[in-house]
Chains A and B, each alone.
Chain A
Amino acid sequence: MTISTTPLPVEVEAPVAKPAAKRSRLWAWLIFIAGALYFLVPLGATFWWSLRAEAGVLGFEAYRRLFDDANFWPSFTESVVNAVAAILLSLIIIVPTAYWVTLKLPRLRPVVEFITLLPFVIPAVVLVFGLIRLYGRPPLLLTATYDSSRVLLICAYAALSFPYMFRSVDNGLRAMDVRTLTEAALSLGAGWPTVMRRVIFPNLRVALLSGALLTFAIVIGELTIALFMAQQTFGPYMANLTRSKVYEPSAMAIVAFALTWVAMGTIALVTRPGRRR
């Protein structure tokens, strides 16, 4: 890094309202608007289509039919419960792992990263057949009942979330210079649980939120594994609707999008830091 030889500028306060900052703000707006257009137009088109269920009339008939359907809410709530369980399970496993790999076992990193990326290359259909083969027969029979299959499903979802959870947590750990913080905390006499609870987790809040949101979205819409596990979750419900109807799927896409967004907003609100940093 070259060190400029010009003398320090006279003004001492931080350069906030310089034209350069304004220009970067303009760029930020442009980028944001371009992004918003790209993301919102297809949603808008879907919404517009969903209003056409009644011939010649723009109305909410498709939504009415959707909410009247007996399976809509039960399948959605079942998926939400699965999602929360999977998130907790994934957090408990990934955070210590990422932490350990970063601090103590850096040479194990490629192995761990490879494993966390396995869900990408094992197609869902292959994964579920593998799970059924392993746990669908004695001696490890876990699929005998609907509920035990559900537990298996949640474990599979936690595994599916590994790529996103690990990457998020890893990015978060990098950003917080975890080594220094840990050494500082330890040298101040903190025990490991305290380090985790008061140093690591609070600083990882944003990263954990990202990972949790991604996992939530995955679980809500997941189709293949739920289908083969004979679970009545939201994914199979949506797929079934899409297969047979013309207008309801669009209404459902909008509703699912909105519901998931609300749920995520709730998660984000709940995990908001208590005091300003």
Chain B
Amino acid sequence: MKRYALAVALVMLVAACGDDTGTTTTAGTSETTAADGATTTTAAAGATTTAAEAGGMEELVAAAQAEGTLTTIALPHDWCGYGAVIEAFKAKYGLEVNELDPGAGSAEELEAIEANKDNPGPQAPDVVDIGLAFGPQAKDAGQIQPYKVATWDDIPEGAKDPDGYWYGDYYGVLSLEVNTAEVDPVPAEYADLLDPAYNGQVALSGDPLTSNAAMLSVWAAGLGTGATGEEAAQAGLDFFAQLNGAGNFVPIDGDSRTVGIGETPILIDWSYNSIANDVNLAGNPDIETVVPSAGRLAGVYVQAISAYAPHPNAAKLWMEYLYSDEGQLGWAAGFCHPIRFEAMTAAGTIPPDIAEQLPSTEGAFFPSIDEISAAQAVIVEGWPSVVGVTVEPSPSG
């Protein structure tokens, strides 16, 4: 299935006589790296911010191949079809990809950049894929360097840094991942989860104190009650307090595995993970992905190049690849909405069979960075008392 999609994408890429040196948005972006005082490693192609400045795609490819390797981090193969994307990238350009910790969270990715500042070795990531709220944070800390891909203009304004430091890559909506072998009937909305039928079955994908996705899940449940903004965050806390009190909440971190074995048969997670799990399990058991209509929350992730990247040209080539039609369709095949979704839909470059397996994001709320931070502050403050993180661990509990 994915191979077919890739073949179609490749054909279209060739047919569309991809001329990537077109859009050069260099207006006023000459302050590339020196401004934040970060010590960037000077690459063969210099500290450039677009492919055009680098002398065109061929030069970039040559420089990247001279470097030979790209170091990535936090890219699980089942997440947005990254496995296939990485393989296709390797095959296309003959580079090796050194994959670091696939389980790293956004903060860990930035920590890896920071800790390996002067390290040219394989432990230093070249590129990161982090949550939206982490983009500005990384820029301020001088951990990333700007670069604008050829298809820069297709990226919506709210999902990219004007100076080119970080840029949205894909998005999805939060959903309920349901193991239908253990759960009957299948819930449709967050409010349904309070039903006694779901006793000991509902879990989050992480700890809201450490995981961005889990924190957003709490917020989404609150949004499902009809509240907005910070009130929704508090409503989310109240909802989970209720869920916990009713005994429906399981306090462990859920993932595809715990859903599959039936320990957390209802998991609040990104729709793309849920669908991918369903495909992987091939009916053993059968997973249903339910996108609630109330409290439909979308989340955007962003790409960035490390300011200390040991292989900056490979990193830039990787970005060009990801934002080309081929790369974007690779993510679409992984059930994520690529960030250029609207532009590509308008241009008709998304094959219908890929488009129809993407869950609907209609009516989804795309929060801004400030809104996320505000909700986060409320949730982090209130979460410990919600789950009953008791100061005295009682003997029976």
Residues of A at the B interface (CB closer than 8 Å) are: 49, 52-55, 129, 132-133, 136-138, 141, 143-146, 148-149, 227-230, 236, 239-240, 242-247, 249
A133 CA / B119 CA spacing, docked (Å) = 9
* B58 at interface, CB cutoff 8 A: no
Is B269 in contact with chain A by the CB < 8 A criterion? no
Asked if B260 is at the interface (CB within 8 A of a chain A CB), the reply is yes
Which 7 A-B pairs have CB atoms at the shortest separation, nearest pair first?
Answer: A246-B260, A137-B118, A55-B284, A136-B119, A143-B121, A230-B122, A230-B123
State whether A230 touches B283 (Cβ < 8 A): no
**B376 CB–A CB distance under 8 Å:** no
Beyond contacts A132-B123, A246-B257: 4 other A-B pairs, Cβ-Cβ < 8 A, are: A53-B284, A137-B117, A146-B121, A228-B123
Interface size on B, residues (CB 8 A): 30
Do the beta carbons of A243 and B102 come within 8 Å of each other? yes
Contact A133 B115 (CB under 8 A): yes
With most chain A CB atoms within 10 A of its CB, the pick from B71, B118, B121 is: B121
Q: Is B261 in contact with chain A by the CB < 8 A criterion?
A: yes
Minimum CB–CB distance for B254 against chain A, Å: 12
Q: Is the CB of B100 within 8 A of A227?
A: yes
Q: Could you give, for residues 3-39 of chain B, a 1 whenever the CB lies within 8 Å of some chain A CB and a 0 otherwise?
A: 0000000000000000000000000000000000000
For the complex, what is the distance from the CA of A144 to the CA of B121, rounded to whole Å? 4
A230 and B257 in contact (CB under 8 A), knowing A243-B103, A246-B281?
Answer: no
Q: Which of A49, A55, A228, A244 contacts B261 (CB 8 A)?
A: A49
Complex-state Cα separation, A55 to B115, whole angstroms: 45
Inter-chain contact B100/A230, CB cutoff 8 Å:
yes
- Chain A contacts for B260, CB-based, 8 A: 246-247
Distance of A134 Cα from B145 Cα, bound (Å): 25
Contact call B257/A242, Cβ cutoff below 8 A = yes
Task: Give 1 or 0 for each of B107-129: 1 = CB within 8 Å of chain A CB.
Answer: 00001100111111111000000
CA distance A53 to B260 in the complex (A): 11
Which residues from A are CB-within-8-Å of B103? 239-240, 243
Chain B residues in 8 Å Cβ range of A239: 103
Distance in angstroms from A58 CB to nearest chain B CB is 12
Considering the chains assembled together, what is the distance between the CA atoms of A146 and B116 in angstroms? 14
Q: Cβ of B289 < 8 Å from any Cβ of A?
A: no
Q: Which of A53, A149, A246 contacts B256 (CB 8 A)?
A: A246
- Please, could you name 8 A-B residue pairs with CB atoms under 8 Å apart, sorted by A? A49-B261, A54-B284, A137-B117, A148-B121, A230-B71, A236-B101, A240-B103, A245-B257
Q: Does B98 contact A (CB under 8 A)?
A: yes
Task: Specify the chain A residue showing the minimal Cβ separation from B83.
Answer: A244
List A contacts of B280 (CB < 8 A): 244-246
Given A129-B115, A245-B257, A246-B281, decide whether A136 and B78 contact each other with a Cβ distance below 8 A: no
